[in-house]
């Protein structure tokens, strides 16, 4: 069997011809608007964006690279072709006079929505009640980049940091140099996979269910825990299963398996390599011709790596097309729309973060950028 993940962007759905024509026309509209706007605009594009959008990115990358690059750009307008939490981080790291625009306001992240400030504040108080001390003295809060700005603010005000999939280990090591325990949200898998790689026993990484009192944990479990993991996950990466790895290895014993750390532990444990979207790209791009790769991450990135490496076999790990439907909400039409409005002197879809939230969140993001990877 040859490998051939579905090329999502190339599959016309019945009745969508008009939309496809409009999208093709949007590419021209984007080019024209960009020419007029010149260096007033910078476009940042996440690796999961479709080709028709990411081709316009001045900077394409994983969420760590984009927050670092976004913080350095000079342009007045930053258009973020990513999801809501990424655009918020660009606001926080940017200058006050810069304007950050999300081309489609419905581009969110289901994982980020799995933790809110009220739930996290409740958990923090409950941890303090069980442990009998002020948590800030002994527990380091770490939020994954995939979280709302006010959670980054919560963490920053309590001495904690943000992490991404590319620096989670550095962030945990930094945290354990200062405090005994880590409270990690919202992605249980990134937290568990990173903790396990550092040698932390599974029984010392407990799962906090935000819908149960005291996370559904006993006092003893909380007292013995090194890492308290929030019960959140990515709905795209949870679709990869260890059986998929077995299937590919049966068909191609020499295949390499590479997965994103948002995949479940049983998948990461079986894989040959794990890393951020940028890491996945770099590893496959640098691999020898003829090598074979099954990749556990979002389909647009997998298709792009496949197209860039025609001398290698690159396939999606899952038999189903694992699509981040919220990233997919940003279309070339949306990009054309926000750019043409700028040409007309109108800002639409601007992302705002209240100043009081920004203060703490900036502390947490600056800490993240200063922690060695
Ligand atoms: P990266 O940090 O690898 O870009 O991942 C972001 C993300 O949302 C993956 O699902
Ligand atoms: Fe969120 Fe998952 Fe989409 Fe990443 S792939 S943006 S974690 S829903």
Whether 298 lines ligand 2, by a CB cut-off of 6 Å, is: yes
Dihedrals phi, psi of 317, to nearest 5 degrees: -65, -40
The pick from 234, 262, 295 for probing ligand 2's pocket by mutation, whose C-beta has the most ligand atoms within 8 angstroms, reads 234
- Number of domains within the chain: 3
Whether 114 lines ligand 2, by a CB cut-off of 6 Å, is: no
Long-range Cβ contact pairs of 18-25 (< 8 A, separation 24 or more): 22/333, 23/52, 23/331, 23/332, 23/333
The pick from 44, 47, 62 for probing ligand 1's pocket by mutation, whose C-beta has the most ligand atoms within 8 angstroms, reads 62
Q: Over 80: is that where the pLDDT of 182 sits?
A: yes
Q: Are residues 288 and 199 in the same domain?
A: no
CA distances in angstroms from 125 to 119, 120, 136, 139, 168, listed in the order given: 10, 9, 10, 12, 25
Q: Is 284 helix (H, G, I), strand (E, B) or coil?
A: helix
Residue 245 lies in a domain: yes
Take residue 359 and report the two structure tokens written for it: 């203060």
Cβ atoms 99, 350 nearer than 8 A: yes
Q: Are residues 124 and 81 in the same domain?
A: no
Q: Kindly give the distance from the C-alpha atom of residue 220 to the centroid of ligand 1, in angstroms, as a whole number.
A: 34
For residues 270 and 273, give the distance between their C-alpha atoms in angstroms, rounded to a whole number: 9
Q: Are residues 155 and 210 in the same domain?
A: yes
Residue 373 lies in a domain: no
Q: Are residues 205 and 132 in the same domain?
A: yes
Q: Average the pLDDT over each of 12-26, 44-58, 251-265, 303-317 and give the range with the smallest value.
A: 12-26
Helix axes 355-370 and 149-157, enclosed angle (nearest 10): 70
Per-residue pLDDT reduced to its tens digit, 66-109: 988 888 899 999 999 999 999 999 999 999 999 999 999 999 99
Average the pLDDT over 211-220 and give the result: 98
Partners of 270 in beta bridges? none
Query: Which of the listed residues 200, 234, 268 is the one where a domain comes to its end?
Result: 234
Residue 362 lies in a domain: no
Residue 366 lies in a domain: no
Whether 146 lines ligand 1, by a CB cut-off of 6 Å, is: yes
Check which CATH number belongs to the domain holding 92 and give it. 3.40.50.10800
For residues 37 and 277, give the distance between their C-alpha atoms in angstroms, rounded to a whole number: 30
Per-residue pLDDT reduced to its tens digit, 106-148: 999 999 999 999 999 999 999 999 999 999 999 999 999 999 9
Q: Over 90: is that where the pLDDT of 373 sits?
A: no
Partners of 314 in beta bridges? 293
Whether 147 lines ligand 1, by a CB cut-off of 6 Å, is: no
Query: Which of the listed residues 204, 234, 264 is the one where a domain comes to its end?
Result: 234
Q: Are residues 116 and 190 in the same domain?
A: yes
For residues 332 and 312, give the distance between their C-alpha atoms in angstroms, rounded to a whole number: 30
Q: Kindly give the distance from the C-alpha atom of residue 108 to the centroid of ligand 2, in angstroms, as a whole number.
A: 8
Domain boundaries, position 136: 112-234
Of the pLDDT bands very low, low, confident and very high (cuts 50, 70, 90), residue 6 is: very low
Tokens 């325990």 appear where? 181
How many CB atoms are located within 10 Å of the residue 263 CB?
A: 28
Q: Are residues 94 and 49 in the same domain?
A: yes
pLDDT for position 12: 47
Tokens 């792009």 appear where? 304
Residue 184 half-sphere exposure toward CB, CA atoms < 13 A: 31
Whether 314 lines ligand 2, by a CB cut-off of 6 Å, is: no
Which DSSP letter does residue 202 get? G
Cβ atoms 333, 54 nearer than 8 A: no
Residue 254 lies in a domain: yes
Q: Are residues 292 and 249 in the same domain?
A: yes
Ligand 1 atom closest to the Cα of residue 83 is 8
Residue 359 lies in a domain: no
Dihedrals phi, psi of 241, to nearest 5 degrees: -125, 155
User: What is the enclosing helix (H) or strand (E) of 368?
Assistant: helix 355-370
How many CB atoms are located within 10 Å of the residue 255 CB?
A: 19
Cis bond upstream, residue 186 (ω within 30): yes
Q: Are residues 262 and 286 in the same domain?
A: yes
Round to the nearest angstrom and report the end-to-end CA distance of the chain.
Answer: 39
pLDDT for position 63: 87
Whether 234 lines ligand 1, by a CB cut-off of 6 Å, is: yes
Whether 263 lines ligand 2, by a CB cut-off of 6 Å, is: no
Per-residue pLDDT reduced to its tens digit, 148-166: 999 999 999 999 999 999 9
For residues 185 and 165, give the distance between their C-alpha atoms in angstroms, rounded to a whole number: 13
The pick from 44, 45, 46 for probing ligand 1's pocket by mutation, whose C-beta has the most ligand atoms within 8 angstroms, reads 46
For residues 63 and 44, give the distance between their C-alpha atoms in angstroms, rounded to a whole number: 10
Q: Kindly give the distance from the C-alpha atom of residue 350 to the centroid of ligand 2, in angstroms, as a whole number.
A: 21
pLDDT for position 70: 83
Whether 276 lines ligand 1, by a CB cut-off of 6 Å, is: yes
What is the residue-averaged pLDDT of the chain?
94
Q: Are residues 178 and 87 in the same domain?
A: no
| H runs (alpha helix) in 298-354 | 299-308, 332-343
Residue 171 lies in a domain: yes
Q: Are residues 117 and 226 in the same domain?
A: yes
Q: Are residues 116 and 98 in the same domain?
A: no
Q: Kindly give the distance from the C-alpha atom of residue 30 to the centroid of ligand 1, in angstroms, as a whole number.
A: 26
For residues 44 and 141, give the distance between their C-alpha atoms in angstroms, rounded to a whole number: 28
Query: Which of the listed residues 234, 253, 270 is the one where a domain comes to its end?
Result: 234
The pick from 64, 298, 330 for probing ligand 2's pocket by mutation, whose C-beta has the most ligand atoms within 8 angstroms, reads 298
Residue 322 lies in a domain: no
Whether 239 lines ligand 1, by a CB cut-off of 6 Å, is: no
Tokens 């930053």 appear where? 78
pLDDT for position 15: 54
- How far is C-alpha 291 from the chain's CA centre? 27
Tokens 């700005």 appear where? 149
Q: Among 178, 220, 172, 221, which residue's Cα sits nearest to residue 200?
A: 172
Q: Kindly give the distance from the C-alpha atom of residue 261 to the centroid of ligand 1, in angstroms, as a whole number.
A: 9
Whether 340 lines ligand 1, by a CB cut-off of 6 Å, is: no
Q: Are residues 198 and 182 in the same domain?
A: yes
Between the CA atoms of 225, 230, 234 and 238, what dihedral angle is there, to the nearest 10 degrees?
40
Whether 164 lines ligand 1, by a CB cut-off of 6 Å, is: yes
Q: Among 295, 45, 183, which residue's Cα sits nearest to residue 303?
A: 295
Q: Kindly give the distance from the C-alpha atom of residue 357 to the centroid of ligand 1, in angstroms, as a whole number.
A: 23
Closest C-alpha to ligand 2, atom 1: 109
Whether 236 lines ligand 2, by a CB cut-off of 6 Å, is: yes
Cβ atoms 349, 326 nearer than 8 A: no
């Amino acid at each position: 069997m040859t490998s051939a993940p579905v090329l999502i962007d190339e599959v016309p759905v019945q009745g969508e011809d008009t939309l496809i024509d409009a999208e093709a026309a949007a590419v021209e509209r984007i080019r024209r608007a960009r020419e007029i706007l010149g260096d007033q605009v910078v476009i940042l594009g996440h690796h999961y964006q479709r080709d028709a959008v990411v081709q316009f990115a001045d900077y394409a990358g994983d969420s760590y690279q984009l927050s670092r690059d976004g913080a350095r750009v000079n342009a007045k307008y930053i258009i973020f072709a990513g999801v809501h939490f990424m655009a918020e981080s660009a606001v926080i790291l940017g200058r006050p006079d810069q304007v950050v625009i999300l081309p489609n306001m419905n581009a969110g992240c289901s994982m980020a929505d799995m933790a809110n400030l009220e739930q996290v504040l409740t958990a923090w108080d409950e941890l303090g009640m069980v442990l009998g001390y002020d948590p800030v003295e002994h527990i380091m809060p770490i939020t994954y980049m995939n979280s709302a700005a006010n959670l980054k603010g919560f963490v920053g005000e309590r001495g904690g940091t943000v992490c991404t999939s590319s620096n989670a280990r550095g962030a945990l090591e930094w945290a354990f140099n200062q405090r005994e325990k880590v409270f990690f949200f919202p992605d249980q898998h990134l937290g568990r996979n990173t903790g396990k790689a550092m040698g932390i026993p599974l029984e010392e990484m407990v799962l906090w269910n935000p819908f149960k009192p005291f996370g559904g944990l006993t006092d003893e479990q909380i007292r013995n825990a090194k890492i308290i993991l929030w019960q959140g996950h990515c709905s795209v990466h949870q679709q990869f299963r260890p059986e998929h790895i077995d299937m590919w290895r049966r068909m191609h014993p020499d295949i390499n398996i590479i997965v994103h750390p948002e995949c479940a532990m049983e998948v990461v444990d079986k894989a040959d390599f794990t890393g951020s979207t940028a890491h996945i790209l770099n590893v496959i791009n640098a691999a020898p011709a003829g090598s074979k790769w099954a990749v556990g991450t979002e389909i647009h990135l997998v298709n792009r790596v496949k197209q860039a490496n025609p001398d290698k076999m690159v396939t999606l790990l899952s038999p189903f097309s694992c699509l981040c439907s919220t990233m997919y909400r940003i279309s070339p039409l949306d990009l054309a729309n926000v750019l043409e409005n700028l040409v007309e002197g109108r800002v639409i879809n601007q992302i705002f973060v209240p100043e009081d939230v920004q203060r703490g969140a900036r502390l947490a993001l600056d800490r993240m950028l200063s922690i060695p990877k």
